[in-house]
Chains A and B, each alone.
Chain A
Amino acid sequence: MSLHQPRTRLAGTAKAFKREWLDLKDQWRDEKATEFKNRYIEELFDSVDHAVAAIDGLDKIISKIREDCDVETTDY
């Protein structure tokens, strides 16, 4: 199984949440909103970006392992 699909789903679900956040941003403008953004939102999107990049890396490594270690039993 490729990790391409889970990676795309993670990026997509983060994008959907980001859209909700951007929609709300203009309607919620007090100290609590700033606190929420600084404490949670920035960290979340940073972590998602890092996780997406790591899944890409993992996908490459696992694909290489599968390719290098697979044996075509019909060839023999």
Chain B
Amino acid sequence: MAQKAHVTSIETLDKLRVALLIFIEKATLVLDEVSEEVKRTRIWLQVEQGPLIARMQKQRMKELDMFQQELYTARMSALNETKTGYQQRVNKKRKQLRDLEDKMRTVKKYIRNFDSEVEPVAKKVEKLRSVIDVEMKAAVIFLTKSVKILEAYSEVKSVPKAAVAATTELTEDSEAES
């Protein structure tokens, strides 16, 4: 080795490698969840909310037609005390329709602006994924290599000791025999 290694325990270095692998796994799961939520929100707007509001508008429109017909009939029959109730129902239905129109405009606005409002923030989160996929995987390789180098280094250091011990034993044995 060109330079002296200052690491007191190979196990500690390996523990860091394992901790990094666990981090990579957990962080990737989080990033997947975030990315899924962004996709779900887009689908919710486009496939669920838009058509749901359109169906509700159609239904309320039918109800409004019906209430207006009832109001007209009440007016014709000059039932003054019930006319107010019919008018209130018509007014309420008209307000519901206006609210639904506002809601539909909002949904369409979000669908239109999704790429410019949501995706740039989602991309900032995704930057971590590229750091994990490239840099952190390289970091794991770096640690794996470091552990192997240190293991090899400690083996090299321990071999001469064993050899010395074996040589000493042989020498002692031969001396005893003579």
Contact = CB atoms under 8 A, between A and B. Distances in A.
Interface string A43-76: 1100110110111011001100110111101011
B125 interface: yes
In the complex, which range does the number of interface residues on chain A fall in?
Answer: 35 or more
Given A9-B30, A24-B12, A58-B122, A51 B127 contact: yes
Given A6-B34, A55-B125, A66-B41, A24 B131 contact: no
A14 B23 contact: yes
Is the contact region of chain B dominated by helix, strand, or loop, or is it mixed?
A: helix
Interface string B86-111: 00000000001000100100110010
Contacts of A51: 31, 124-125, 127-128
Given A27-B12, A50-B127, A76-B96, A13 B142 contact: no
Given A9-B26, A21-B16, A58-B125, 6 more contacts: A13-B22, A51-B31, A51-B128, A58-B34, A58-B38, A69-B106
29 contacts: A6-B37, A10-B27, A13-B22, A13-B23, A16-B23, A17-B20, A27-B8, A30-B3, A33-B7, A36-B139, A36-B146, A40-B135, A44-B139, A48-B128, A51-B124, A54-B121, A54-B122, A55-B125, A58-B37, A58-B121, A62-B41, A62-B118, A69-B44, A69-B49, A69-B103, A70-B49, A73-B52, A75-B96, A76-B56
